[in-house]
Amino acid sequence: MTGNRWEKAGAIISNTILVLLITVALLLAFVLLQSRLEGGEPSIAGHRICIVLSGSMEPAVKVGSIVVVQPLAAEAVQPKDIITFRGANSSSLVTHRVDHLDTANSLFFYTKGDANSVLDPAPVPAERLVGRVVFTLPYAGYLLAYTRSREGLLALLALAALLIAAGLIRRSSGEKKGRKHNASKEVTAE
């Protein structure tokens, strides 16, 4: 009887893991497709997803991490917040901590990377604010960057297909096992 319980528990756990992996693969594929169609950083529910490329925010934000950036009004930013903003050339994004604000004439953020010993060379005008970092996932940016490549996207699709096939094979073999078990019960009942 206990062997049967362990089999059921194992089946439930493996099915849950399979569903989670398929969900993550589909979500990642959706985000990547959306990113390619829009031609920018991927986003989910209005939150931008960015990959950290430098160590200026270590140890709080590691190189290769994903940061989820929530848009917000510039007036809501407080000292110590980690914000993402457009660099001076406006094509790159920078994620640094707010050291202090300047509201004398207009709103400016004075920022600094945690690993840096001095403030960034120029204050950030409020117009360049993208948002505040609300979540960090260490090292997941390496995976996201890989899946944005042609080879990575193909590997992701192959993995999703493999997981779906594995689930179908398991379900099929489980049904066969159940039919054999039921058939043996019928034979012994006669």
Give the residue numbers annotated as catalytic, written as ranges: 54
Which residue do the tokens 């953020």 mark?
A: 109
Q: By C-alpha distance, which of 131, 128, 126 is closest to 47?
A: 131
Extract long-range pairs of 116-119: CB within 8 Å, 24+ residues apart. 116/56
In angstroms, how far is CA 113 from the centroid of its own chain? 22
From residue 22, give the alpha-carbon distance in Å to each of 127, 158, 177: 39, 12, 25
3-state secondary structure 96-133: EEEEEEECCCCCEEEEECCCCCCCCCCCEEHHHEEEEE
User: Dihedrals φ, ψ of 41, to 5°?
Assistant: -70, 145
